[in-house]
Structure 1
Amino acid sequence: MAPYASDDSTTAAEGDDPRDDLRAGRRKAARYVVPVAVVGVAAATIGLVPAIADSGDPDLPEITAQQLIEKIAQSDVQQMSGTFKITTDLGLPDLGGLESSLASGAMGSGSGDGSSADPTAKLTELASGTHTLRVAADGPDRQKLSLLENAAEYSLIHNGKDVWGYDSKSNEVFHGTAEEARGGQEKEDVPATPKDFAEEALKAVDDTTSVTVDGTAQVAGRDAYRLLIKPKQSGTTVGAITVAVDAKTGMPLKFTLTPSSGGAAVVDAGFTQVSFAKPAASTFDFTPPKGAKVTEESELDGAAAEHGSAKSEDELRKELDKELGGLKSGDEHGKAREGGPEVIGEGWNSVAVFDTGGEGVPSGAEAGGDLGGFLDSLGDKVSGKFGSGTVFKTRLINALVTDDGKVYVGAVDKDALVKAANSAK
């Protein structure tokens, strides 16, 4: 990780993108064994980590941004437990029953091909609303995450070679094997604390970014420094990212990402209680309850194959990692990396370009009925040198879909997307 020259100036981050080092098996393992991967659900879309709301103003020794970044990099917390809360507000429209239907179809209902205990689908619930979780970790081989719901609980446990998911509401169990998920490869470390996600945020920093220490805070009863990351460019939807860094351990405790448009945070995530004592070994024990339906990971993979999936989930994840990883590392026009998307612009104004090879999004009139009205409510019609298309907006990520099937996407506003499309080769 590149140091910063001073407390109020930055240089481009150096080093290879860590995604380059992730093998297929590691990606699949990380799906399940990361107790705080909840932060990544919202953050992975832009390769950034969210930041903080503070209480208190502890008196701590002065520290520069460079020193605080190095403190994060040197942090090596292996054992911890606590309560974690995440609120995500992307400003998506109310989908009513459609959202529930899609979630139900993705997870299954206890019969057929799916399982409500499958973590792949279950953790997508964290992409919207407010959720409370309990987390625990004891080194790279023992982690636990519990998602607390109304009169129910979902737990994801990694203990040695076993990965368990349990949905108390449906009394369903998912079982996978970490060694198999790694494809029999030599064991590798996977992200296991908010520190990993904070480092990803810092790797997105370049000379288009201001990085400073913005005072102190108290988070989960612990003294912390506030690291403030702000784009210098206009046109981005990112207003600021703040990371509360534990003054003693260097571990990021809480994160908040605020949009340039103002208002509530897009993501506010972090610990409300935390301990760095070794969790009891029994924390990671799990035995399927009597009468519970147990689904093996191999059964789900087999069901996907029977449905004629053109590409495996792991293959799709590889492609997504490659696409997202190149968003901030490309030239002004050109491929970000071999096999990645074309990238237009730089820094926070980077726009990734995909060619679907097909037609754009149908208009409301073309789609007809409720679907047509829904599509029209989501997008704004735009036109320019590129032709015409529709811009679909959230409070953070926006996308322009042209009528000829090109897609321009980034953490930028509508005008920046149109400008990128007009400048495309």
Structure 2
Amino acid sequence: MAANTNTSRKIARYAVPVAVAGVAAATVAMVPAFANAGGPDLPKVTAQQLIEKIAASDVQELSGTAKISTDLGLPKIATGLLGGGGVAGGSANPEDKVAQLANGTHTFRVAADGPDRQKLTFLDGKDEYSLIHNGDDVWGYDSKSNEVFHEKAPQPGKDGDAGKGTEHKPGDRLAASPQQLAQDVLKAAGPTTDVSVGETAQVAGRDAYQLVLKPKQSGSTVGSVQIAVDAKNGVPLRVQLLSSQGGKPIVDAGFTKVDFAKPSADTFKFTAPKGAKVTEGAAEAGKAGEDEHWKALDSFPGLGGLMDGANGKDGDVKVLGEGWATIARIDSGAGKGLKELENDKNAPKEAKQFLNSLGDKVTGSFGEGRVLSTRLVNALITDDGKVYVGAVTKDALVKAAEANK
């Protein structure tokens, strides 16, 4: 799935954006679905054979229903910002749906007919949000607000020099789909990963093998990753991410119904409804909305510079460790920003609430700091303006801060 970086970014905008999927892929791309007891009796395969089966799968056409559930264990203030409702409502721009999809359970219909036609429709009661890619056009439609987003899709070899000679499978633009999540997992798996074949299972009425990935290193928040693979055609049917602390999956994405027949051409046709507000998208990815979710923090004393560092604007980033234990150290240049904010009696109430949501104070040879904890990614923000972040435990972050202060 080779692609020019700029083209990949543009294509990502047209995928249904699931925030947690992006985080998982960036931090080592994880995911498991424990085998159902009494699974189907299938011929034995090795892990290498199963990986090759996935890689060789060239299914171009499918339709069905899928579900994704995300339980990051976010702080209450963050959960409130993300919203507990459905996806429908507000702007039809796909980028505006990112935060909403990082929380709760969402059901969607999916259809694909080759690399140039895909459709995802998220279902939330009587309201729907649809993302349609049909040839040169990408449409986003929000039925609740009756808003339409339209943008021209980047075409390999046509979008400047980007994408020349590249090929794309349907999963490339369906970031919420089990296929794309599985590809992200396998691409990120390396020598720090133990790969094996689990028990067989049945997913969406189809017999499946299960590929299990586990960190060899200690300190990861990820317990294991498992991909249910269609025994006949090699299509990933379900992907789950389990926490090293146990409990229900952090991410559980899979088909509940799937059909590999060619969808009707009418499936991908879209005409803006009468009276709908139509917004034309930016010509290039990244020009609009790239940092929207951080802008609200810029006004908080000391946090603006910290967020700039986290977004790579001015911060000095150093990668510590490898594989599942990778930690990024960001020197934001915010200095004593957090401590000043904590002691500032005139600081906005919202800023203090955000600070308190970061979690417990920690101390070490690096000084003092606070830990922002989720079930997947943890971040240690020190009072001298450094940020240590990764899919690792709080103790692993503290040790990294002490060794790299």
TM-score (norm 1): 0.78
Q: Could you tell me how far apart the structure 1 residues matched to 2:30 and 2:109 are?
A: 20
Pairing 1:90-169 to 2, within 5 Å after superposition? 90-95=72-77, 98-99=80-81, 109=90, 116-169=91-144
Task: Confirm or deny that 1:388 pairs with 2:368.
Answer: yes
Q: Deviations over 1:184-230 (max 9, x none)?
A: 44654441453343232123323332111011000001000011111
Q: Partner residue of 1:379?
A: 359
Q: Could you tell me how far apart the structure 1 residues matched to 2:122 and 2:250 are?
A: 20
Q: Any gaps of 5 or more consecutive residues in structure 2?
A: 296-307
CA contact (8 A) 1:25 1:185 kept: no
Q: Partner residue of 2:232?
A: 248
Q: Could you tell me how far apart the structure 2 residues matched to 1:216 and 1:400 are?
A: 40
Q: Partner residue of 1:64?
A: 46
Name the stretch that deviates more: 349-358 or 54-63.
54-63
Name the stretch that deviates more: 47-56 or 409-418.
47-56
Task: Confirm or deny that 1:43 pairs with 2:24.
Answer: yes
Q: Partner residue of 1:209?
A: 193
Question: Cα distance, 1:232 vs. partner?
Answer: 2.2
Q: Partner residue of 1:343?
A: 319
Measured at CA, do residues 343 and 302 of structure 1 come closer, stay the same or move farther in structure 2, by a change above 3 Å?
closer
Q: Partner residue of 1:356?
A: 332
Task: Confirm or deny that 1:200 pairs with 2:184.
Answer: yes
Task: Confirm or deny that 1:412 pairs with 2:392.
Answer: yes
Question: Cα distance, 1:51 vs. partner?
Answer: 2.9
Measured at CA, do residues 157 and 73 of structure 1 come closer, stay the same or move farther in structure 2, by a change above 3 Å?
same
For the residue of structure 2 that corresponds to 1:379, the secondary structure is coil
CA contact (8 A) 1:50 1:269 kept: no
Q: Could you tell me how far apart the structure 2 residues matched to 1:122 and 1:223 are?
A: 33
For the residue of structure 2 that corresponds to 1:241, the secondary structure is strand
Kindly, what percent of the aligned residue pairs are identical? Answer: 54
Q: Could you tell me how far apart the structure 2 residues matched to 1:293 and 1:239 are?
A: 45
Amino acid at match of 1:248: K
Amino acid at match of 1:73: A
Q: How many pairs were matched up?
A: 372
Amino acid at match of 2:360: D
For the residue of structure 2 that corresponds to 1:165, the secondary structure is strand
Measured at CA, do residues 302 and 216 of structure 1 come closer, stay the same or move farther in structure 2, by a change above 3 Å?
closer
CA contact (8 A) 1:194 1:252 kept: yes
CA contact (8 A) 1:239 1:258 kept: yes
Pairing 1:221-232 to 2, within 5 Å after superposition? 221-232=205-216
Question: Cα distance, 1:53 vs. partner?
Answer: 5.0
For the residue of structure 1 that corresponds to 2:181, the secondary structure is helix
Question: Cα distance, 1:120 vs. partner?
Answer: 0.8
Measured at CA, do residues 281 and 37 of structure 1 come closer, stay the same or move farther in structure 2, by a change above 3 Å?
farther
Amino acid at match of 2:280: E
Q: Partner residue of 1:336?
A: none
Question: Cα distance, 1:94 vs. partner?
Answer: 2.3
For the residue of structure 1 that corresponds to 2:92, the secondary structure is coil
Q: Partner residue of 1:76?
A: 58
Task: Confirm or deny that 1:400 pairs with 2:377.
Answer: no
CA contact (8 A) 2:82 2:102 kept: no
Q: Could you tell me how far apart the structure 1 residues matched to 2:232 and 2:391 are?
A: 33
Q: Partner residue of 1:284?
A: 268
1:52 to 25, 33, 43: 33
Amino acid at match of 2:31: P
Q: Deviations over 1:34-80 (max 9, x none)?
A: 36868734533524142325545000000011111111111111111
Name the stretch that deviates more: 41-50 or 68-77.
41-50
For the residue of structure 1 that corresponds to 2:121, the secondary structure is strand
Amino acid at match of 1:413: T
Q: Could you tell me how far apart the structure 1 residues matched to 2:377 and 2:320 are?
A: 16
Q: Could you tell me how far apart the structure 2 residues matched to 1:38 and 1:385 are?
A: 34
CA contact (8 A) 2:111 2:263 kept: yes
CA contact (8 A) 2:84 2:100 kept: no
Amino acid at match of 1:86: I
Q: Could you tell me how far apart the structure 1 residues matched to 2:126 and 2:205 are?
A: 28
Q: Could you tell me how far apart the structure 1 residues matched to 2:228 and 2:288 are?
A: 43
Q: Deviations over 1:307-343 (max 9, x none)?
A: 9x99xxxxxxxx99x98xxxxxxxxxxxxxxx99322
Question: Cα distance, 1:261 vs. partner?
Answer: 0.9
For the residue of structure 1 that corresponds to 2:13, the secondary structure is helix
Q: Partner residue of 1:295?
A: 279
Q: Deviations over 1:64-119 (max 9, x none)?
A: 11111111111111111111100000001223895168999xx995xxxxxx1001
Q: Could you tell me how far apart the structure 2 residues matched to 1:270 and 1:303 are?
A: 31
CA contact (8 A) 1:72 1:195 kept: no
TM-score (norm 2): 0.82
